[in-house]
Amino acid sequence: MTATAHLLASGPGWRVSDIVCTAGPDDRVFEEEHPQHCIAIVRSGSFRYRSTQGSAVLAPGSLLLGNRGACFECGHEHAAGDRCLAFQFEPAYLEGIVAAVPGARRTGFARAHLPPLSALAGLVAEAEIVADYPERLEETALRLAGAVASLLSGAKPGVETPGARDQCRITRALRHVEAHCEEVLPLGALARQAAMSPYHFLRTFRALVGMTPHQYVLRTRLHRAALLLRRTGLPVASIAFDCGFGDLSTFNRRFKRVMGESPSDYRGA
């Protein structure tokens, strides 16, 4: 095997893997088939990609696009090795995203790739960063798929003001987070709470609240922890776990990054 895939995160209809390929000029090229729709960010190295949608040489920052069931080949005639962050989507899941993108009309990709584009630079960098934080990858997967669908549609991005119905739905999700912030709150569950598709929920939530659902859940947990640190004598570890943090080191790191000081220093201030 010249390629190994390490699953980083997954959920109903989506998965994200870190794929490392060690193939070189002397390795034979095999035809493969995309098991799901795929958007893969090239993180390092380069390779030739050929599929039924076309062919291209992909370098860091490029996006490989693949349709479910489409045959493809990856060749390394000129240099060895590459690494990609692959986002895979089941058809129904991707269809739900595309349906919420103004101007987008098809679920599959008409092109084999997207070059390194300034319009995607921030999102591509963010995707590489959050690869170390699996709990944030579903939001990134949704945003990436939506951005690609928008670019391929050719529609100009516009600013939409959520209507009263969507405002009511997002409020329902906000209240749910407030009441259950210590629980595991995946994006899909919050979207169901709001009776919205995950992508529409994410986009509407950001428009109304000014941050993503994950960021809001984290902010709510840290706020509650800050109050408990000042108002009670509970051990820091107990506060961390009671507020929904899986381990003390994660809590300490995130609290200091947001509040500017460690939980112990904050309590003693």
Where is 121: in which H helix or E strand? Answer: helix 118-130
By percentage, how much of the chain surpasses pLDDT 90? 61
The answer to whether 25 and 69 have CB atoms below 8 angstroms apart is no
Torsion, Cα 53 55 59 65, to 10 degrees, reads 10
CA 28 from chain centre, in angstroms, equals 33
Domain borders along the chain are 3-153, 164-210, 216-268
Give residue 79's pLDDT: 82
Mean local confidence (pLDDT), 232-247: 94
Instruction: Tell whether the model's pLDDT for residue 209 goes beyond 90.
Output: no
Answer whether residue 117 shows pLDDT above 70.
Answer: yes
- What's the burial of 29, exposed, middle or buried (CB within 10 Å: 0-12/13-18/19+)? middle
**Longest distance between any two alpha carbons in the chain, whole Å:** 66
Class of domain 3-153: mainly beta
216-268 — its CATH code? 1.10.10.60
Question: pLDDT per residue over 165-200, tens digit each?
Answer: 988 899 889 989 999 999 999 999 999 989 999 999
